[in-house]
Amino acid sequence: MAEPQEQREAPKRGAFLNVLVALGVIGLLTKLWSIVVIMAHLNSRLLISPSRDPLIDISSSVLLALALFGIWHLRKWGAYLVLIRLAYTVIVQLFLYHSLAMPLIGNYNGTQNVLGDVLGAALWLWAFSRKWSYFQ
């Protein structure tokens, strides 16, 4: 007769990681809204996302969606992908737009965009470090 298997406790993402995933979903929805605004040639005042280039928005959105899916399922590739996506947005700002002072929306500029991405990366790294043993 087979011995009963040990029941493993299901890994828990924790509140902090869950909040970051929820904020990531909100960010993804704002990116998707901006894609709709750009593609439908609506008034640019309706833009939420700083980029006005659909290709950049679409590629960034795909990366973010895949990363959030992976993180939700506690996959290491999702964690790596969210950091790659943040690096991608910084690279776009520095090497494609060539200006940290470039106004994006209202008073929001490239410097704030890069600082936001760096802060975001730090928060994700902190959240991952707390739960990394659960990631596969």
**Which two structure tokens, joined as six digits, stand for 80?**
């790596």
Contact between residue 93 and residue 114 where contact means Cβ atoms under 8 Å apart: yes
Q: Residue 50's pLDDT band (boundaries 50, 70, 90)?
A: low
Can you tell me the distance from the alpha carbon of 12 to that of 130, in angstroms, rounded to the nearest whole number? 11
Task: Give yes or no for a contact between 113 and 105, defined as CB atoms under 8 angstroms apart.
Answer: no
Residues 6 or more apart whose Cβ sits within 8 Å of residue 37? 43, 44, 46, 47
Distance between CA 127 and CA 18 in Å, rounded? 9
Query: Would 8 be classed as within a structural domain?
Result: no
In a domain, 118, yes or no: yes
The total number of structural domains that make up the chain: 1
Q: What CA–CA distance (Å, rounded) separates 90 from 82?
A: 13
Per-residue model confidence as pLDDT tens digits over 79-119: 999 999 999 988 887 887 766 666 666 676 778 878 888 99
Domain range for 74 is 16-39+50-134
pTM of the model: 0.78
Q: Is residue 80 in some structural domain?
A: yes
- Domain assignment present for residue 76? The answer is yes
Instruction: Determine the pLDDT at residue 51.
Output: 61
Give the residue, 87 or 12, on which the prediction is more confident.
87
